[in-house]
Amino acid sequence: MKQTTKNILGVAAIVLLSSGVAGLTAYKMLQKNMPADSTAAFSDMFQQNPNVRLASYNAVDAQPVDLTQAAENSVHAVVHIRSTQTSKVQEVEVRDPFSDFFGEFFGGRGGTQRRQVQTPERTGFGSGVIISKDGYIVTNNHVIAGADEISVTLNDNRQLKGRIIGTDEVTDLALIKIEGDDFPTIPVGDSDALKVGEWVLAVGNPFNLTSTVTAGIVSAKARSLGMGQQTGTESIESYIQTDAAINQGNSGGALVNARGELVGINSVLSSPTGAYAGYGFAIPTSIMTKVIADLKQYGTVQRALLGIRGGSIGSSLMDDRQPIDKSGKTLADKAKELGVVEGVWVSEIVENGSAAGADIKVDDVIIGVDNKKVSNMADLQEALAKHRPGDKVKVKLMRDKKEKTVEVTLKNEQGTTKIVKDAGMEILGAAFKELPDDLKKQLNLGYGLQVTGVSSGKMSDAGVRKGFIILKANDQPMRKVSDLEEVMKAAVKSPNQVLFLTGVFPSGKRGYFAVDLTQE
């Protein structure tokens, strides 16, 4: 039986090989009998664009790309980051479940009660990339957001304490520092030079198991995921998309090209399960380099804005049937009307912004910035993220179906070209504490922050004195010191840069102050 099987398989193999030879011979015989113009007829069916370039490829010499050196260069500079939020006592509002019921029958007022609760200690994990031998580390903002303590574990298992130098929620980047010298680093490469289909490595330290490496290719560039819309916050997105496996804990890790250069910071995982089952997204170094330089030098990002509102006219939004104006037009309709297939449509010019001082108008379509093609909003955001207020850029746009180039001087959120410094609470020159219960009862107040001391600074300049109780800052109720810090940071970024305080003195006298937050 075994011998029979072998014979049958042998015959089958011969038949297959023979049929291949016969087929080739038959084709050549047919070819001899074909009319002379038959091959021309075939070529006419597949008319090729003469500008198409084929990749340089030799099937004989081709070997799999060697990523070992790139991996060896990278693993030692990728660290594990543990961020800890310590347990705290917080005051929270708790709704009285019986307030509505009894209020309906007895005319009482429903409402909420304030209670103190002990929050549990929270721990988060992520990765980071050492970018300088003196211990500066880039990671994601969401890895260390709200952290009271940061622990950094190197690939050789050394553990060091980290401190935050600066954070930027808009790009989800952060810069931290560990003390020491001669740390291993990854050289920073040019993410603009990356091509779709190029091999990349995702290097992370997700589970504190020392650095791990996965490989894949660049699947797409300038991807926007709408993270800002989901979270309700401002967001700059122009991600590198890759199919290299990126799991939870890889956030803040390195995306490395085949030369071993850092080209991105791994940030987002697109997965239905939370584990790797899709694509990973990395912040390109074209954005990272400038953001991190700002955080190191100024403590905050010097963000340049074009001062427009609009939307992408590209393939990703052409099927969007949501109306963009009262006439019911969609972006697809607008694209046909303007005679463009991609770019950023300008729907509004922001007052006192960069575009308002240049020759940019509503219904213009931006198609380039400084010789960089702009196909969508992500491209535009990436191009602007490299610049600081005061920089001049050349904006290429389409107007009335004609191409035009205008020069624009970029401005910041305040509509100026001045450097914005990190505004910590120290610029106020005052100390604060939450209003004690006995004073609340005495003055019949539900909340407030009391000024416990005033030295030289913005509060003193505005006339605020020790003992003043702040009830509202820029119309926001002040219950905790962190409330004042949040409102102040937002005010520093506003055009007016003023903190309007309303409150009361312990004597019962009302007080109103305008605190100028501008910095020379």
Largest CA distance in the chain: 112
- The pLDDT-based confidence of 9 (bands split at 50, 70, 90) is very low
| Residue 28 clears pLDDT 50, i.e. is over it | no
| Residue 223 clears pLDDT 50, i.e. is over it | yes
pLDDT of 415 reads 86
For the record, the structure tokens of 323 come out as 């109306």
- The pLDDT-based confidence of 1 (bands split at 50, 70, 90) is very low
pLDDT digits 0-9 by tens, 113-163: 666 677 788 888 999 999 999 999 999 999 999 899 999 999 999 999 999
pLDDT of 92 reads 62
Tell me the C-alpha distance between 478 and 396, whole Å.
47
Average pLDDT of the residues of the chain: 80
Query: Which positions are annotated as active-site residues?
Result: 142, 172, 251
Q: Which of 148, 142, 141 is nearest to 162 (CA)?
A: 148
Tell me the C-alpha distance between 127 and 77, whole Å.
10
Residue whose pair of structure tokens reads 């694209």 in the numeric block = 335
pLDDT of 120 reads 82
pLDDT of 105 reads 45
Taking a C-beta distance cutoff of 8 angstroms, is the pair 201, 260 a contact? no
- The pLDDT-based confidence of 227 (bands split at 50, 70, 90) is low
pLDDT of 87 reads 76
pLDDT of 55 reads 56
Taking a C-beta distance cutoff of 8 angstroms, is the pair 119, 88 a contact? yes
DSSP string, 438-500: HHHHHHT-S--EEEEEE-SSHHHHHT--TT-EEEEETTEE--SHHHHHHHHHHHHHSSS-EEE
Tell me the C-alpha distance between 213 and 253, whole Å.
10
pLDDT of 355 reads 93
pLDDT of 177 reads 96
| Residue 483 clears pLDDT 70, i.e. is over it | yes
Name, of 311-315, 376-380, 515-519, the range with top average pLDDT. 376-380
pLDDT of 34 reads 46
| Distance (Å) of CA 458 to CA 266, 331, 434, 464, 510 | 40, 47, 20, 9, 20
User: Can you give 98-136 as a three-state secondary structure string?
Assistant: CHHHHHHHHCCCCCEEEEEEECCCEEEEEEEEECCCCCE
Name, of 4-13, 54-63, 436-445, the range with top average pLDDT. 436-445
Tell me the C-alpha distance between 142 and 267, whole Å.
9
Angle at 166 between CA 165 and CA 168, to 5 degrees: 160
Taking a C-beta distance cutoff of 8 angstroms, is the pair 58, 133 a contact? no
248 compared with 259, residue with greater pLDDT: 259
320 compared with 222, residue with greater pLDDT: 222
Residue whose pair of structure tokens reads 């289909």 in the numeric block = 197
- The pLDDT-based confidence of 17 (bands split at 50, 70, 90) is very low
| Residue 335 clears pLDDT 70, i.e. is over it | yes
pLDDT of 364 reads 92
Start-to-end Cα distance in the chain: 96
pLDDT of 111 reads 55
